[in-house]
Amino acid sequence: MPYLELTFNIPVKQNYTYASSAAIPIGCRVKAELGSQKRSAWVVGQAESPPDFLNRLKTIESQIDTEPLFDLEFLELAKWLSELTMCSLGETLAAMLPGGRSESRKPDDAFHEHGSEIVEALSFDQSYALKNIEASENGWFYLYGITGSGKTEVFLRAAQAVIEKGNSVIYLVPEIALTHHLVGNLKSRFQGLVAILHSALSNSKRLSEWRRIQSGAARFVLGARSAVFAPLKRLGLIVIDEEHEASYKSDAAPRYHARQVAMRRCKKEGSLLLMGSATPSLEAWQLMKSGRLKSLELGGRPAGGAAPVSRIVDLRKEKTILSGQLMDAISRVLGKGRQVLLFLNRRGFSYQFFCHSCGEGVLCRNCSVPLIFHKSTSTMNCHYCGFRMKPIQICPNCSSLEIKFTGFGTERIEEDIRKIFPKKQVVRLDTDVAKKANVLEEALRGFREGSIDVLLGTQMIAKGLNAPGLKLVGLLFADSSLNLPDFRAAERTFALIVQVSGRSGRFLPDGEVIVQTLRPNTAAVQMAVEGRIEDFYEYELGIRKTLHLPPFSRIFRIVFEGKNKTKVNETSKQFASTLGRAAGGEILGPAECAVARISGRYRYHLMLRSDNFDVTHSALATILSKFLPRSGVRIKVDIDPSSLL
Ligand code: ADP
Ligand code: ZN
Ligand code: ZN
């Protein structure tokens, strides 16, 4: 009887040996009992001889896959990733592989394609970049080009050359829902070779796409973060578009960064790596400076645009978020039949409730974050745990009736703009609206084609929007990400202003941008508005160097969570003292997290700042394997965290 080594999707860093009546290949899923529960598991090893606890050996219930989902090379990548992120192999495989039992043969109709633009001649910068890329088999390149400089065309032509050689391509984007225009373009260039991995796919559809990739029928894979694991043979190129985006870092176990995995795969498989952005991450910037990434620059806007004219509005001098200057600009632009894009970094109608007697806000009862009023549902919602309640009439703290809203949100601004311009088409796009099927896609198309006059939205409109009639971009409140207690706050704010601003002036050289802020003197805001990209990087690198923060050090964040606050706090202190000097880094904390409670769980964290990644990593892994938290306390490790909240 053969013996199989199985791994389950549980946070236990251990594999289990089972007996099997048939030889099942590595890479297949099986059903097996763990404890008293039947679960699915992956076969990760085979053994000829039984383990020494033979009398308690369990037998596999059934086999799920007949063909393996992965091979030994993939398993090696999974093991590497599970060690790097300090997760179990099972948790890691669960994040890398598709779920689902049966394989769907239905066509994928989740995506409607749009006609694609044809670029006839490359600009000088584009051809120069492409020549460099094509001359290399396995180089690492960074396409650093202003917004609208035509990075996509370079990515696609580099991909085409790789496909023509019979090799395959992974093309990563931050968010697949925003890439409808790209999908049309890909399908016309690469036809049946394209596979799209996105979260809207059903499990069975994901599995059948996975099979098409494994078989070599699909050689161009488009997807978000996890598409970096696509099981392509003869991988010739990985593209990471908008490399600076935080969505490339997973916020659940395994907490990996797609860039990290891409670097590893490209090194092992001898492939080209091509990243790009108008606002690289500071990590990438530093790698370009050191020469480990070869920087290729794109200057102009080949579709006929030019950098927009930007100005700052000091909100401290304004009574409302729709400032006089902004309203004048909107009516002027709409009067000429052109379009306006308004960006607000925040959802909901009014920001939060506020008691004028005692000064308290109303927080979620499970999480320590303010509840946000949503007019469309007439509820106060928690954006962390989804808790909802009817708007309160009386302050829960002091029983006063003097409850008011403070702040503003997209719903409220939409209402105001509609009142002022009743004849114009105004559309709001945020995650609330975009949950409805096709709303996002139709709004983006309507704006592109000119049937929408004002598009108002949150984060999701910062990317991918390419509308010829767009003249004015307004950032209603550029500070909202500046106030976060996170060392990346300035970098994020800078990137956001540059990216959102870059939606205007893409086709015509008359773009305008208005950036409203309470902090007009902040370097990130000023340099973004003045388009001083390189100055900002030098400035911010200087600060990071002084404070010994990434990219001049690495950060390991350890989060402690549990229902009993005392136990969480004590565990964090014990952990810190166990770490002591052993990990070779500097310990910051432990302290309460900025979001001190989520879904009823109290949160503490500590940060380890290290100069020697390997030493700290292995010391931390050893301590974690031995450390016993107080009961009910969970420990999470996040290496190179992208958020510290
Ligand atoms: P970004 O660098 O911001 O990703 P895009 O790749 O979206 O820029 O390109 C911006 C616009 O310029 C697109 O509409 C694209 O079709 C157009 N474009 C790109 N290259 C050329 C070119 N060589 N000639 C004319 N238009 C181009
Ligand atoms: Zn009160
Ligand atoms: Zn909550």
**In angstroms, what is the span from residue 396 Cα to ligand 2's centroid?**
7
Please say whether the beta carbons of 493 and 525 come within 8 A. yes
Q: How far is the CA of 387 from the centre of ligand 3 (A)?
A: 5
C-alpha span between 371 and 349 (Å, rounded): 11
Ligand nearest the Cα atom of residue 117 = 1
| Tens-digit pLDDT profile for residues 472-520 | 999 998 876 666 667 888 999 999 999 999 888 888 888 999 999 888 9
268 C-alpha to center of ligand 3: Å? 43
**Angstrom distance (rounded) from CA 267 to CA 253:** 24
Specify the pairing of strand 379-381 against strand 372-374. antiparallel
Give the position of tokens 């995995």. 261
Residue bearing the bigger pLDDT, 203 or 331: 331
Contact 184, 114 (CB under 8 A): yes
Cα–Cα distances (Å) from 524 to 107, 144, 299, 494, 498, in that order, read 46, 19, 22, 5, 10
pLDDT in tens, 341-379: 999 876 554 566 777 777 777 778 887 777 877 777 888
Which ligand has the shortest distance to the CA of 399? 2
Q: How far apart are CA 551 and CA 396, in angstroms?
A: 45
Q: Are 403 and 380 in contact (CB under 8 A)?
A: no
Looking at 360-497, which runs of residues are DSSP E strands? Answer: 372-374, 379-381, 388-389, 403-406, 426-429, 454-457, 470-475
Residue 164, number of CB atoms within 10 A of its CB:
9
Contact 616, 554 (CB under 8 A): yes
**Residues within a 6 A CB radius of ligand 1:** 117, 119, 121-123, 126, 145, 147-153, 302-303, 466, 506
For a ligand 1 pocket test, name from 146, 151, 153 the mutation site with the most ligand atoms within 8 angstroms of its C-beta: 153
Ligand nearest to the CA of 353: 2
Atom of ligand 1 nearest to the CA of 117: 16
Is the pLDDT score of 4 beyond 70?
yes
**What is the tens place of the pLDDT at every residue in 83-126?**
999 999 999 999 999 876 655 555 444 455 555 567 779 999 99
Q: What's the whole-model pTM score?
A: 0.91
107 is written with which tokens? 């066509």
Handedness of CA 322, 328, 331, 334 (dihedral sign): negative
> Which residue, 311, 321, 484, is CA-closest to 407?
321
- Confidence band for 614, pLDDT divided at 50, 70 and 90: very high
pLDDT at 611 (0 to 100) = 92
Q: Relative to the alpha carbon of 181, which ligand is closest?
A: 1
The conformational region for residue 216 under phi > 0 = left, psi -120 to 50 = alpha, else beta, is left
Q: What was the pLDDT predicted at 109?
A: 47
CB-based burial, 146-159: b 16+ in 10 Å, e otherwise = bbbbbbbbbbbbbb
To test ligand 1's pocket by mutation, which of 449, 466, 501 has the most ligand atoms within 8 angstroms of CB?
466
Coil/strand/helix, residue 238 = strand
Distance in Å, CA 248 to ligand 3 centroid: 25
* 364 vs 340 pLDDT, higher one: 340
Q: How is residue 63 annotated by DSSP?
A: E
| CA pair distance 371, 569, nearest whole angstrom | 26
Residue 241 alpha carbon to ligand 1 centre in Å:
14
Distance 300 CA to ligand 1 centre (A): 10
